[in-house]
Amino acid sequence: MLSMDRDARAAIREFVIDRLAPTSGRGDIGDEDDLIDSGVIDSLGIFQLVAFLEERFGIAIGDEEITPENFGSVMAIERLVAARSR
């Protein structure tokens, strides 16, 4: 399980850093760094991210799950993905 979690985190990190962070002007992002106040995730980026997660992990994320608690950091996103994959 642990190795799967690590893969998931790496994939999420990669998407956040390669696809979302550049347009916010942020460079390095730690697993627990805030993604919302910093502008890494904005109203367009959030749906790119959701689409990516749904495809990559074969899960469905409802609009009601799109909250700051679930998307506030790479760790939070990973927890959401883990919970939905079970």
**Angle ∠(27,7,10) on CA atoms, nearest 5:** 0
Residue 68's contacts (CB-CB under 8 Å, 6 or more residues apart) are: 36
Of 6, 47, 51, 85, the residue at the interface with other proteins (CB under 8 A) is 47
Does residue 64 bind other proteins (CB under 8 A)? yes
Are the beta carbons of 15 and 71 closer than 8 angstroms? no
- For residue 13, give both structure tokens: 């990190």
Of 22, 32, 83, 85, the residue at the interface with other proteins (CB under 8 A) is 22
Does residue 24 bind other proteins (CB under 8 A)? yes
Does residue 66 bind other proteins (CB under 8 A)? yes
The residue range among 3-11, 38-46, 51-59, 73-81 that interacts with other proteins, by the rule CB under 8 A, is 38-46
- For residue 37, give both structure tokens: 């106040």
Nearest to 66 by CA among 41, 40, 85: 41
Positions touching other proteins (CB under 8 A) are 18-19, 21-25, 27, 36-37, 39, 41-44, 46-47, 63-64, 66-68, 71
